[in-house]
Amino acid sequence: MKHFKSSSGDLRRLFERAITIREIAEPLVSFDTDHAAEAIRACMEERNFDVVGLRQGGRVVGYLRRNDLTHGSVTDCLTRFQAGEMLAEHEPLSAAVQALRNQTQLFITVRGKVGRIVTKGDLQKIPVRLWLFGLISLIEMQMLRLIRQRFPGGAWGSLLSPARVEAAKKVFALRQTQNREADASDFSDCLQICDKAAIMLKDSELFALSQFPSRVAGRSFFSHLESLRNDLAHSNDILKGRWPALAELAVQCENLLTWLEAGRVRLPEFGGNGR
């Protein structure tokens, strides 16, 4: 297996420079103050909007909630923007994910002026899914690197059930028949994420690198991680039944990746597996 030079820092730089909140934000429909509340509400109901912007002097100064619009002056229904509700369009996607834990929507500034909006539904878009899948892929690569350092030549077999070892061998054999590059003494490349997680949690030195408070916490994390990875791979809904826990999982992924990247391990003592 070739050495992977990608790191969490590379991923962050990629998304901070090229894929930002701008890529998932939608234009914020807004109205001037001379519009009647009833007319704005009718438009919102027709287009299924929960909020719209309100302009004063050509600048969006706040927003209107559909349920607040009944009659009278729209300025009476105006909600002014608060600092925690606004993000700049050049901010990374992770900032939007974390901010939406406490907000129904985020108002996005373009050149210092509010002009776009992000809601939880926008977290289903391709840029967010790519970011999350990238995090998980880097975690898997770093786990594999450390497992190989700790157990050269595939000496991790005793940490997995015979069925899981056999499953990896079958994948390895299939790759060999397809003329893929493969080291006959090491089929670690064929481990699934659940296998890598089991090895890391059972071996004391690898477990220490993960900085999980307990093995129970580690198993819970990897269970949620694998579920998210599967939903991302199959283009399934990633929010249903997973929000706001998804935001915390993203933070845990970034932290784990940082710790794994910095990790170095020793060879196990002869005949031992470090459990």
What pLDDT, on a 0 to 100 scale, did the predictor assign at position 8? 66
Which tokens in the block code for residue 63? Answer: 């927003």
Overall average pLDDT of the 29-45 stretch = 94
* pLDDT tier, 31 (very low <50, low <70, confident <90, very high otherwise): very high
CA R_g for the chain: 24
Please tell me the pTM assigned to this model: 0.87
Which neighbouring-strand residues pair with 30?
53
- Cα-based distances in Å from 83 to 62, 110, 114: 12, 15, 12
Helices (H), 151-189: 162-177
Q: Which residues contact 221 (CB under 8 A, 6 or more apart)?
A: 212, 249, 252, 256
> Is residue 51 within 8 Å of residue 63, measured between CB atoms?
yes
What pLDDT, on a 0 to 100 scale, did the predictor assign at position 1? 45
Asked if residue 72 has pLDDT above 90, the reply is no
What pLDDT, on a 0 to 100 scale, did the predictor assign at position 4? 53
What pLDDT, on a 0 to 100 scale, did the predictor assign at position 183? 56
Three-class secondary structure of residue 72 per DSSP: coil
Query: What digits encode the pLDDT tens for the residues 152-187?
Result: 888 899 999 999 999 998 888 888 787 655 555 568
Query: What digits encode the pLDDT tens for the residues 49-63?
Result: 999 999 999 999 999
Share of the chain above pLDDT 90, in %: 73
Cα–Cα distance between 49 and 263 in angstroms, integer?
48
- CA quadruple 226, 228, 230, 233: dihedral sign: negative
- Cα 99 to chain centroid distance, Å, stands at 13
Q: Which residues contact 222 (CB under 8 A, 6 or more apart)?
A: 193, 194, 197, 201
Question: Can you give the residue ranges of every domain in the chain?
Answer: 21-121, 126-262
> Is residue 41 within 8 Å of residue 47, measured between CB atoms?
no
Choose which CATH entry (2.60.120.380, 3.30.43.10, 3.10.580.10, 3.40.605.10) describes domain 21-121. 3.10.580.10
Q: State the DSSP code for 85.
A: G
Asked if residue 5 has pLDDT above 70, the reply is no
Q: To which residue do tokens 């730089």 refer?
A: 13
Query: What digits encode the pLDDT tens for the residues 117-145?
Result: 999 999 999 999 999 999 999 999 999 99
Please give the order of strands across the beta sheet that includes 113-119. Answer: 26-27, 113-119, 105-110, 86-88
Overall average pLDDT of the 177-204 stretch = 83
